[in-house]
Homo-oligomer: A and B are copies of this chain.
Amino acid sequence: MPDPTPSGESLLFLTDEQLRKGIEAMFFAYRGFTADPDRILENMDYGRAHHRALHFIHRSPGTTVSNLLTILGVTKQSLNRVLRSLVDDGLVEARVGRKDKRERHLYLTQKGQELERELSDAQRARMRAAYRAAGPQAVAGFRTVLEAMMDPELRKQYQGLKEAGP
């Protein structure tokens, strides 16, 4: 059991050893985090990159390509390859902007929503199990540390995503 909050500010949780354990925890947990969707995708022609695109299009329907570029942090060539296959396969619809016709607004089709749902269900099942096992207080701490770990600019992106209204 990691230390109960040290009243005398012992800061035991900031030792190099503790920090290394945290680093390793991130490494192993991220493997688990991606494992289930990866398993689903490995039979299809898609990969993790497609999953990410589906996730964020689901999250922000009508988002533009450049919005997505900013969020995903990849080059447009890289994203375009992924997006093209999703559009070609009828999972994503790219509508020309009404106001600005250069823009493409992205939406999931029925088929796209189904795959997104399948991937998301698997990933959320793991998160839910972890959250349930850890309890609400641990979850709050988890989110706090992760947010503090983000680059400030990414943190804004993260916080800008639809909030869970109170």
- A-side residues, CB < 8 A to B, are 2-6, 9, 11-33, 35, 52, 55, 59, 73, 120, 123-124, 126-151, 154-155, 157-158, 161-162, 164-165
Contact = CB atoms under 8 A, between A and B. Distances in A.
Query: How often does this chain occur in the complex, in copies?
Result: 2
6 contacts: A5-B135, A14-B132, A29-B150, A130-B149, A139-B145, A140-B141
A26 B146 contact: yes
B141 A138 contact: yes
B148 A145 contact: no
B17 A165 contact: yes
Contacts of A147: 25, 29
B149 A33 contact: yes
A11 to B, nearest CB: 8
A2 B161 contact: no
Nearest to A135: B2
